[in-house]
């Protein structure tokens, strides 16, 4: 398990990480900083790109396993957030699946090519709305 550690620090280094405001790498979510040591092996962290703050186990931080729930991970535009769960008992929640399908229809180039209704640019995305004349 030691070879999978993303950051070259150990649990004993937590105070140095906090005091020196060291940025730690995550797997796919950029960098975060540990802002506070909490009880039970948890820390408060803040993501550099989005500013999202959450609590995480320190070993998960060292292995880069903490996820930024405010990152635009769904087709580069959709934010999962922390208010609603995406799965329950290991199965995707229906509303989450529907939301992903909507984003897929609008933002997936391969999906739009396969749907004849969308040929010719019949979809207006959020980026285009500001330029659209209604």
pTM: predicted TM-score of the whole model, two decimal places: 0.74
DSSP codes of every residue in 62-123: HTT----TTSEEETTTEE--SSS-SEETTEE-HHHHHHHHHHHHHH-HHHHHH-GGGTTT--
Query: Using one digit for the tens of pLDDT, what is the confidence trace for 86-130?
Result: 999 999 999 999 999 888 888 887 776 666 665 555 556 555 544
Each domain of the chain, given as residue ranges in start order, spans 2-62, 71-108
């Amino acid at each position: 398990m030691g070879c999978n550690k993303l950051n070259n620090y150990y649990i004993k280094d937590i105070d140095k990480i906090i005091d020196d405001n060291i940025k730690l790498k995550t797997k796919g979510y950029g960098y975060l900083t540990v802002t506070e040591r909490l009880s039970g092996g948890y820390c408060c962290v803040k993501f550099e790109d989005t500013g999202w703050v959450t609590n995480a186990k320190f070993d998960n931080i060292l292995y880069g396993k903490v996820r930024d729930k405010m990152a635009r991970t769904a087709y580069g535009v959709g934010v999962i957030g922390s208010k609603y769960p995406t799965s329950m008992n290991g199965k995707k929640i229906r509303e989450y699946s529907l939301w992903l399908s909507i984003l897929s229809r609008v933002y997936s180039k391969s999906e739009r090519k396969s749907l004849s209704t969308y040929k010719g640019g019949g979809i207006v995305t959020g980026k285009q709305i500001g330029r659209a004349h209604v």
